[in-house]
Amino acid sequence: MDDVVNQVLAISYIGSEALYNSIIYFFTEARKLTRAVNIFKHMQNSRNLNCRPSIRTYNILFTAFLSRGSNSYINHMYMETIRCLFRQMVDDGIEPDIYSLNSMIKGYVLSLHVNDALRIFHQMGVVYNCLPNSFSYDYLIHGLCSQGRTNNAKQLCNEMKSKGFIPSSKSYNSLVNALALNGEVEEAVKYLWETIEKQRSAEFITYRTVLDEICRQGRVGEAMRLLKEFQEKDLLNGHTYRKLLYVLEDDYGDSSAHSQFSSPQTVLLRNQHNPLYESLLPSMYSPASLPLAHALVASSSSSRINPSDLEDSLLQLVQGHHHASVRIHKLTEKAQNEATKKAVCVAELLVEAVNGGTDWWLSLTRSINTAIKEIGDFENWMKIMEFDSKSINAAIHNIHQA
Q: What are the tens digits of pLDDT across the range 344-370? A: 676 666 666 555 555 565 666 666 666
3-class SS at 147? coil
Q: Is residue 203 over pLDDT 60?
A: yes
The answer to whether 194 and 172 are in contact (CB under 8 A) is yes
Rounded distance between C-alpha atoms, residue 15 and residue 83, angstroms = 28
The answer to whether 175 and 196 are in contact (CB under 8 A) is no
DSSP label at residue 108: H
Q: Is residue 148 over pLDDT 60?
A: yes
pLDDT at 370: 63
Give the number of C-alpha atoms closer than 13 A to the C-alpha of residue 85, restricted to the C-beta side: 28
How far from chain centre, in Å, is Cα 71? 11
Q: Which one, of 91, 95, 154, lies nearest residue 123 by Cα?
A: 95
CA-to-CA dists, residue 1 to 4, 5, 8, 27, angstroms: 5, 6, 11, 10
The answer to whether 10 and 45 are in contact (CB under 8 A) is no
Rounded distance between C-alpha atoms, residue 220 and residue 155, angstroms = 31
Q: Is residue 299 over pLDDT 70?
A: no
Q: Which one, of 111, 89, 104, lies nearest residue 135 by Cα?
A: 104
The answer to whether 291 and 312 are in contact (CB under 8 A) is yes
Sign, CA dihedral 207-235-226-250, equals negative
How far from chain centre, in Å, is Cα 73? 15
Rounded distance between C-alpha atoms, residue 3 and residue 270, angstroms = 64
**3-state SS record for 191-231:** HHHHHHHCCCCCCHHHHHHHHHHHHHCCCHHHHHHHHHHHH
Phi-psi label, residue 69: left if phi above 0, alpha if psi -120 to 50, beta otherwise: left
Average pLDDT over residues 188-195: 92
Average pLDDT of the chain to the nearest whole number: 76
pTM of the full predicted structure? 0.60
For 230, phi and psi rounded to 5 degrees? -60, -40
Instruction: Please write the tens of the pLDDT for every residue from 12-54.
Output: 666 788 888 888 888 888 888 888 888 888 888 877 778 888 8
pLDDT at 327: 76
